[in-house]
A and B are shown apart, each in its own frame.
Chain A
Amino acid sequence: MDTNELIETLAADTRQPTAPLSFVWWGAAGLAIALAAVIFFATLGPRPDVAAAAETPRFLLKFVVTTTLGASAFGLARGLSRPGEDWRAAAPYLAGAAALLAIAAFVELLLLPHGAWSAKLVGMNSMVCLAYIPLIGIGPLAIFLLALRHGAPTRPALAGAAAGLLAGSIAATFYAAHCTDDSPLFVATWYTIAIAGLAVLGAAGASRFARW
């Protein structure tokens, strides 16, 4: 097949519709949040004292951190799914959630007596956190990998890692409503490990699954 024949062939195939990528990303995000909600309410559910907890700053801060991470990871994953897009411009926003959490952890260290540090860091739910953030996040990650596959990531591993952060932040947002360990020290340790696990999984998945 010479190049002109190929061009005529491709031109004859214009009428097959393909969904615009931005539409696909927003649809994927909605679907991922719905799926995470279903898994969360079917397994853990919110903590019994959620109304009272919602008035404490430590509890609320968890959501500020996870949604900040989610918003920046969403921008990054979307940018990385388009060839030639300036995704580097979206990357620095990831530092926002990290900075928030670092400041909160620092303030927590100042507020707590020395002896309470390790108890707050270890908490009561570290194993539940490490099990359920990946469990709630794995379905959303699969959806985002499909979105990446529909796109055209020229750096698949990086795009997959961003998709993992996004899935992890959604899962962590739900999980935070269940967990009674509200200390930033706990969040900075266990949430980070759980979300990083999903990011690694996303990177490995996308480099196999989102090639084109």
Chain B
Amino acid sequence: MHGNDEKELARLLRTAIAGDERAYGEFLRCAACLVRGFARRNVVQGGIDPEDVVQETLLAIHMKRHTWREDGPVMPWLHAIARHKLIDAFRRRGRRVEIEIGEIAETFAEPEPETVSNREIGRALDALTPGQRSVVAAVSVDGNSIVETAERLGMSETAVRVALHRGLVAIARRFGRD
């Protein structure tokens, strides 16, 4: 499926908001493709990884999905969030350039980018409480389901859901309000 199908995106998001995980995953993958294109076109200077902007936008979409009007179009909403996060990324990098230099060097040293620690969002895991971190890591990095995570950590499903949600809120807060 191609992401620029407005109607299909709206259908996926509507189903997702009703609680359908699979539709939500599909929606987020389409959104990621769209935002990736947008970020790559707009990030021309160094110091910002377009993929970080993609991830921060996905997190913002998730936290603010209730701000979409179900009878309204998806694309302008998605675009406004991506734009907001891109501007935010520029602003944040502008403020702490000296830290950023170290991080660029680190990325150069490790051309294989997809490990837990070298994405902005991965780094934000460090700010979580130990309980939240183990749940978020079990679901994200190890790819466990909620049920598997609950079994592995000896927690109830509800507790896993709550810890996951709070962990994501904490990560989003780190990006939104620094």
Q: List residues of chain A with CB under 8 Å of any chain B CB.
A: 1-16, 18-22, 81-85, 150-152, 154, 211-212
A88 to chain B, nearest CB (A): 13
Report yes or no: A212 in contact with B20, Cβ–Cβ below 8 A. Answer: no
Q: List residues of chain B with CB under 8 Å of any chain A CB.
A: 16, 19-22, 24-25, 28-29, 32, 51, 54-55, 58-60, 62-69, 72-73, 76-81, 83-84, 113-114, 116, 119, 121-122, 125, 136, 139-141, 143, 145-146, 161-162, 164-165, 168, 172, 176-177
Q: How far is the CA of A5 from the CA of B139 in the complex (A)?
A: 8
Q: How far is the CA of A9 from the CA of B136 in the complex (A)?
A: 7
Most buried by B among A9, A15, A83: A9
Report yes or no: B161 in contact with A15, Cβ–Cβ below 8 A. Answer: yes
Q: How far is the CA of A20 from the CA of B72 in the complex (A)?
A: 14
A9 to chain B, nearest CB (A): 4
Contact flag A14-B140 (CB < 8 Å), given A6-B58, A83-B67: no
The 4 lowest CB-CB distance pairs between A and B, nearest first, are: A83-B80, A84-B76, A84-B80, A2-B114
Residue among B67, B83, B125, B177 making CB contact with A82, cutoff 8 Å: B67
Chain B residues with CB under 8 Å of A2's CB are 113-114, 119
Q: How far is the CA of A18 from the CA of B169 in the complex (A)?
A: 12
Contact flag A84-B78 (CB < 8 Å), given A12-B139, A20-B66: yes
Please name 9 pairs of A and B residues whose Cβ atoms are closer than 8 Å in the assembled complex, sorted by A.
A1-B116, A1-B119, A14-B21, A14-B24, A22-B69, A84-B79, A84-B80, A84-B81, A212-B177
